[in-house]
Amino acid sequence: NAGVMQNPRHLVRRRGQEARLRCSPMKGHSHVYWYRQLPEEGLKFMVYLQKENIIDESGMPKERFSAEFPKEGPSILRIQQVVRGDSAAYFCASSPSGGRDTQYFGPGTRLTVL
Amino acid sequence: AQSVTQLDSQVPVFEEAPVELRCNYSSSVSVYLFWYVQYPNQGLQLLLKYLSGSTLVKGINGFEAEFNKSQTSFHLRKPSVHISDTAEYFCAVSVSMKTSYDKVIFGPGTSLSVIP
């Protein structure tokens, strides 16, 4: 059973470009969470999605950031017009339900903005 | 508001010595508690979790944690550490939201360095 997949593992963008981060949850999991980890800091919740629905986006910056989890395909975290402050590791986690199930984490995407 | 505190940002310890990583949480409702480990350049891996029942929880790699409701703590312990335990450790709390899903709040992490 493959784990949570994230790609790319490393992404370099220049200021003003767009970044697209992909997350494929574990088989049978329909709940996806995105977190951001800044250097020397813990994980900060960004958004929680179920298939085709955003359940909680309280941790998402109001501008430039968006997320989706379509009926088919991976979940996408999209950052438009990236700035240097967006440089971080972005982790995706999945769970089989939105209850108190364990969240299983992917290896992360490390975004560097030049 | 719920929060998780990990009092020690860095813990150096000699190989084969015991270690305790501290975690305190604040919540007015019942919680589930987790410890995750993050090895360099990797994602988080679940070490152990407390849902209910016995307050002493055993996890992988010889780690265990004890839930203390009165002190709102969930400290992680290992009686004898190995070099391979060098990693970042995160305590987390799962809290029920009004929208009937559970939100996980992570502590800032404790960096464990095992010295040969």
Q: Residue B24 pLDDT > 90, yes or no?
A: yes
Shortest CA distance from A37: residue in chain B: B108
pLDDT at site B85: 96
Contacts of B90 in chain A (CB under 8 A): 42-43
Shortest CA distance from A100: residue in chain B: B102
Instruction: Determine the 3-state secondary structure of B32 from DSSP.
Output: strand
Is residue B31 within 8 A of residue B25, CB to CB? The reply is yes
pLDDT at site B53: 84
Mode of pairing for the β-strands spanning B64-68 and B56-58 = antiparallel
pLDDT at site B98: 62
* Burial class of residue B2 (count of CB atoms within 10 Å of its CB; 0-12, 13-18, 19+): middle
Q: Which of B10, B5, B14 is nearest to B72 (CA)?
A: B5
Q: Residue B116 pLDDT > 70, yes or no?
A: yes
Of A42, A56, A110, the CB nearest to B106: A42
Contacts of A6 in chain B (CB under 8 A): 43
Element (H, E) at B111: strand B110-115
Task: Tell which of B27, B96, B104 to mutate to test the A interface (max A CBs under 10 Å).
Answer: B104
